[in-house]
Structures are given as structure tokens and as C-alpha cells.
Amino acid sequence: MTQQPLIAFAGGRRANLPNLWDAAALILVLGVFVLMSYGSRGMTSPLSAPETAALSLDYWKLPYYGLRTTLRMFAAIVVSLVFTFTYATLAAKSRRAEMVLIPLLDVLQSVPILGFLSFTVTFFLQLFPGSTLGAECAAIFAIFTSQAWNMAFSFYQSLRTVPRDLEEVAANFRLTPWQKFWQLETPFAMPGLIWNMMMSMSGGWFFVVASEAISVGDVNVRLPGVGSYLALAIDQRRIDCVAAAVVAVALIILAYDQLLFRPIVAFADKFRVELTASQTTADSWVRDLFLRTRWMQRIMTGPARLLHAASLLKMRRPAAARRKGPPNPRIELVLDLVWYAILGAALFASVSMIVNFIRQGVGVDEVKTVATLTFYTLLRVMALIAIATAIWLPIGVWIGLRPRIAEKAQPFAQFLAAFPANVLFPIAVIAILRFHLNPDIWLSVLIVFGTQWYILFNVIAGASAFPNDLREAAQNFGIKGWSWWKNVILPAVFPYYITGAITASGGSWNASIVAEYVKWGDDTVSANGVGAYIARATADGDYPKIVLGVAAMSIVVILINRLFWRRLASIGERRLRLL
């Protein structure tokens, strides 16, 4: 009896000592910090510094270039997360804000990266004159514009489709809006948000050349990175360097998949809405490593408790606002009319400025030409989204319902989504010129790389979040075949698919800038479309034509989203949400 406390004391003393897992975790964390410090040293150097101006196609430079690109992408993903939690939440919680923010989001996702760079690169360079930091901010902002929109759409859609029974539980527990957001809505949105984060990282690779090799009119800036390395290899027709860049991208994706996304996906398993636990769960050696540590867990206990306490704060509206009761319909009508008047005035002023700016450099015939080119690109986008849906919807469901398969397919899918279309330029240009192929048809294949992955990742997220108890109920009732697809899984993944389709539509228009105007050395092949029109105008620094092309593209995207995709999304919110 007297030995039990001694044994307990000895065991407790051993528990206070670090173990081998602590040492391994410490080495891993310190290694990441050293890489970040080493990669960020050149971000504030003078713009004329040799390491900024001169790029080398030496293979041994690729690790450093890859590190610089990865740091830019993670900086952009952090900004995208902040944007998502503020912008999407405001759009989902406020009816009047939603009237502005969601159409604006449609516009932002349709504006090509070159459209943003045309007007922001000069701003950032002037913000930090003589420093590489200005060019770095311009590159990070360009990557941000390829990451943020689908994350915001996913979070917004999740906030709008929280199961009603969970809403009632939150009301019965009298959770404040702050508590409800962190205890219910954010956990419910986690699976979709995480998969869209992975899609955003991969989407950033797709446009990494445009973000690091900035060329707008007389402004030419090339930052050290995989994108600028790839652009230089294409200019010099170095197919070996193009292949080396692809290998570097694959290794980088594998590294951050194992170190970051795999642990996050395993962690997000606890947020699935189900009554019975799934038999298989996602696994991660990094998560297991930190779970076996002693000191690392103790170090993180304090911040974890602080965050948990912050999520439980009873932050309420002022007492006077809570005592008002239901809103007065007449007051609401007046507020709506005032709000509509403000929006109408702002819209009229914006349209007037755009029209006056375009009239300075283009005429009526140019507008008709752009309208025709926009129609051609629209046909490509619609056809490719239909093809991508037919192929990747069943594949995404199959992967998402099998966590072990999803775990193995995750890095492979990220690599395919991150595969830069520029790598295919040599094949596309040589094949089209040699076999006299139609660029309007065969260049469309490149747009697929900016379309299909949004659909695949969102469908996988929807299938992964499908409750295990509903799967068991369908099996018990013997629902199989087409009946299972029609009545069980398609309604479950429909809201996720709509999110993927909306972002795929915007991604396709963005990809048209790259895919409709391709170069390999001195050879150039272009298709008839508004993407090629904007690419040529950007290369020439013709700002009125850039604005005209971007405006035409944005108008079409807004009309399609308003008249088609948003109606489908509302059906998903009303009829196909989990009850």
C-alpha cells in the first residue's frame, strides 16, 4: 500500500521529463522556422539586388526558389483565411450585406489575375519604393486572388446550410451569436473549408508564373521562385528545366501535404455531423508524433485553453438592441429602399467611370468584338464544366466515402490540381503548329486544369462529411443503384457541388487568360476568346482594352451565377440540407 504513492510519484516525475517524441517534434518545428527565416531574407532586399534581378536555370537553385514560392503561397493562404472568416460571415449573417458582397464576390472571382496585376503592381511598387517587398506584396496579392474566392464561397455556403436540428440545439442552450459561430457553425464548415484550402494552395500553383514573372506594359519584375524559373525555361525552350520545375512542385506539394494538410484533415474528422462514428478515420504521422510528446503538449495546453475560453465568451448585442423584439416591417421597408438607393447610386457612378475610361481607347466596333470573343469563351467554359461534372462527380463521391482512399489520393489530387498549365505549352504549341490543329478546340483542353479540380475537391469534401448513420440507414433499407445516387448521395453532396461549380466557373474564366494565349519561345498560338484578348492587352499595357475585357468577363459571370448557379444553390439550402 505504501509503495503506490511512490510508484505514482515516479511515474509522475517521468511524465514531466521530455521523451524522444519531444526531441523529434522540436527538431521538426525548428527546421520549419529555419526554412522560413532563410526564405524570407530576400523579401526586403533592394529591388536592384543581384539575387532579385538575376535568375538562373541551375537545378540547384530550385530548392531555394521553391522555398520562396511556398512562403508566398502560405502568406496568401493566411490572408485568405482572414478574408474568409470576415467577408463570408458578414455575407451569410446580414441580408443587406449579402446583396452587395455575394455579387461582388462573383465579380472578384471572375476578374483574371492579370486584371488585378495590371492595376495593383504599380501601387505595391510605389508603396515600398526601391525594395523587393513591393514586388513581393504584388505577388502575394496575385496568389491571394487565386485562393480566396473559393474558400469564401465554401464557408458562406456552409453557414447557410447548418442542419436545423443543430440550430435548435444551439437555441435551446441559449448560445450567443459569438458562441454559436465558434461552437457550431465553424466546426460544421471545417471539412469543406479544409478541402477548399487545399484546392486554393493548388490553384495558386496554377497561376504562379503570372504572379512571380510580372510583365505589365513597361513594368517587368521577376522574383526568385518556381514560377519565374518556369517562365524563364519556357522563354529559353529548356524542356529539361520545365521537367525539373514539375518535379520540384511535386516534392513541395508532398512536403506540405504531410506536414500541414494531412494533420488538419485528420483533426477535422471530429467535426463530422453523425450519430455513429465511422469505422475508418484519416491518419497522420505528424499528428501522432505530437500526440506522443510530453513537453510539446504542455506548451500548447495554455494557448488551447485560452482559445477555448475565448470561443465560450458570452458576447451579446447591447441590451437595448435585444429588447426591441421583432423588426417593424415599415422601418425595414424604408431601410431597404435607402439601401437600394445607395447601391443604385454607387452602381451608376461605377458604370459611368468604366464607360468613360473605356471610351478613351476603344470604340463601338471594339465592344462588339469583345462581346463576340466573350461568347466563344463562354461556350468553352460551359462545355468543360459539363464534362468535368460527368467525370469527377462520381469519382469524388467514391473517394470521399472511403477515408483510406481519400488519404492516399489527397497528395496526388493536390499535385494534379497544382500542375501548371505552362508546362503543357511546349506540347500544345508544337502539336498545333505541326499538325495544323484548330487552336479554338485544342487550347480548350488547357482550361480543364483550371476547372475540374474545384468540382472534385468540393465533392470529396461533401462525401467525406456525409454522416455515417445515414449511410448505415441506407444500407439497412436496401437502397442501391440509381435510387441510392438519386435519393441519398446526390442530395447530400449537392450544396458542396454547387460551391465547386461556382468556383470552377470563375476558375475557368481565369484559366482562359493562360490557356487561350500560349507561347513557347518565339512561337505563339492563340484561340478566339476574351482570355486571349486580355492577355494581349496586358502584354501591350493597353489599359482601356484590359478594362473592357475584364468588364465583359465579369458581366457574363455575374449573369450566369445569378440566373443559374445561385438558383441551384437556393434549392440546396431549402430542400437538400441535412435536417
How confident is residue 52, by pLDDT bands cut at 50, 70 and 90? very low
Residue from 192, 164, 411 nearest 284 by CA: 411
More confident of the two residues 512 and 493: 493
Are the C-beta atoms of 470 and 493 separated by less than 8 Å?
no
More confident of the two residues 429 and 395: 395
DSSP 39-66: HHGGGGSBTT-HHHH-----GGGHHHHH
Range in 206-210, 363-367, 445-449 with the lowest mean pLDDT: 206-210
Q: What's the number of domains the chain is made of? A: 1
How confident is residue 17, by pLDDT bands cut at 50, 70 and 90? low
| 10 pLDDT higher than 50 | no
Give the gyration radius of the chain's Cα atoms.
Answer: 26
Are the C-beta atoms of 450 and 515 separated by less than 8 Å?
yes
- Round to whole Å and give the CA distance between 447 and 531: 11
Q: 27: burial class by Cβ within 10 Å (0-12, 13-18, 19+)?
A: exposed
Cα torsion angle, 560, 564, 567, 571, sign: negative
- Round to whole Å and give the CA distance between 292 and 21: 6
Residue from 64, 86, 208, 241 nearest 151 by CA: 86
| 132 pLDDT higher than 80 | no
- Is 52 among the domain residues? no
The pLDDT assigned to 86 comes to 93
> What is the span of the domain harbouring residue 293?
17-40+57-270+283-314+357-575
Which letter does DSSP use for residue 185 in this model?
A: I
Q: Is the pTM of this model over 0.75?
A: no
Chain Cα centroid distance, residue 108: 13
Over residues 524-579, the pLDDT tens digits come to 788 888 888 888 887 777 778 887 888 888 788 878 877 888 788 777 666 655 55
pLDDT above 90: percentage of residues in the chain: 6
Triad 329, 102, 550: Cα angle to 5°: 140
- Is 339 among the domain residues? no
Residues 6+ apart with CB under 8 A from 534: 112, 114, 115, 513, 545, 546, 549, 550, 553
The pLDDT assigned to 87 comes to 93
Highest mean pLDDT (candidates 227-231, 371-375, 493-497) = 371-375
pLDDT above 70: percentage of residues in the chain: 79
Collapsed DSSP state (helix, strand, coil) of residue 525: strand
- Is 336 among the domain residues? no
Q: Provide the b/e sequence for 119-154 (b: ≥16 CB within 10 Å).
A: ebbeebbeebeebbbbbbbbbbbbbbbbbbbbbbbb
| 19 pLDDT higher than 80 | no
- Is 381 among the domain residues? yes
Mean pLDDT of 92-96: 84
The pLDDT assigned to 8 comes to 40
The pLDDT assigned to 531 comes to 85
User: At 550, which CATH number?
Assistant: 1.10.3720.10
Pairing of β 219-222 and β 517-520 = unpaired
Residue from 414, 507, 547, 563 nearest 207 by CA: 507
- Round to whole Å and give the CA distance between 177 and 253: 37
How confident is residue 394, by pLDDT bands cut at 50, 70 and 90? very high
Over residues 53-91, the pLDDT tens digits come to 468 888 888 999 989 898 998 999 999 999 999 999 999
Mean pLDDT of the chain: 78
- Round to whole Å and give the CA distance between 369 and 529: 10
- Is 503 among the domain residues? yes
The pLDDT assigned to 234 comes to 79
- Is 501 among the domain residues? yes
Collapsed DSSP state (helix, strand, coil) of residue 503: helix
| Beta partners for residue 214, in sequence order | 221
Residues 6+ apart with CB under 8 A from 509: 110, 112, 377, 381, 531, 553, 557
How confident is residue 416, by pLDDT bands cut at 50, 70 and 90? confident
- Is 340 among the domain residues? no
